[in-house]
Structure 1
Amino acid sequence: MMAHYITFSISITFISWIVGMILGEILKRTAFFKNLSNFNFFKSKRLNQRIGMNVFRWIVKNTFFKFFNAKIELKNKFTTADLEELRKEMTYAEINHLIGFCMVTVFAFIELVRGNYLFALIFIIVNILMNLYPSLLQQENKRRIDRLLKICR
């Protein structure tokens, strides 16, 4: 039964990525999207380290996950325009993951209301690992790019 919960949670989370990309495309055409581009859950680098972002970053850089969004890559030689384009792509990825996070959270809440506590817990864990952490990683990387842009300007 638990294997079913895990595979279903992963499947729904993958679907949430697709939904996030579709809704993200619609959202980026609105004025509200500009407000979201500077949104941060945690501004503290120390807090990011405490929740394991360094480990998560290593996993993304050194496993098959690095192939998921090929647009988010910085070359050795770059211009300010390259940094701005990279930041924009990171914002898109971040917002898409946040949309996916919200979607899967609804599923988890429904299971919680139904009394399926284990299923809801698995939904939340998978959702955090596959939607929230990627979004937090993009936020952290955007802050690093902002520091580089400040130096370049």
Structure 2
Amino acid sequence: MYKKIIVPVEMGQLEKGEKILAKARTLLDGGGEIVLMNVAESVPSYVAVEMPVDFINQSVKDAEAKLMELNAKHGGHARIKVVIGPPAREILNVAEEEHADLIIIGSHRPDFYNYLIGATADRVVRHAKCSVLVDR
């Protein structure tokens, strides 16, 4: 069993988020903590010029609201955290900062794009300093 579990959820795949959050609850020690997180991707400055001024802030607020709703469906025991940056790097940073002993991450079927640069789950598995459970 685990004392601190990081559960990153992609906003476009909330049903996977529900599944991995439920799994995290079954693996959590009594008195342990789940950190339910999302990474709002930063956008390059040349793209940001074309977007509304508060685009990133609104993305963070939307993610927090969706994570709170997801958390409430599962008993409301997880702590919510939304960060900005490249997803794999930020998941790894949060896991290290939180001294996590497990990351549960959803994955999808790899496509050609993933073989060129690698999926977020692949990067997390390769570089995590704690155990990683990948849910297909």
Structure 1 and Structure 2 fold alike (TM over 0.5): no
Who wins on radius of gyration, i.e. which is larger?
Answer: 1
TM-score, normalization: structure 2? 0.31
**If each structure's helix is expressed as a fraction of its own residues, which one has the higher value?**
1
TM-score, normalization: structure 1? 0.28
Which gives a bigger RCO, structure 1 or 2 (Cα 8 Å, sep 6+)?
A: 1
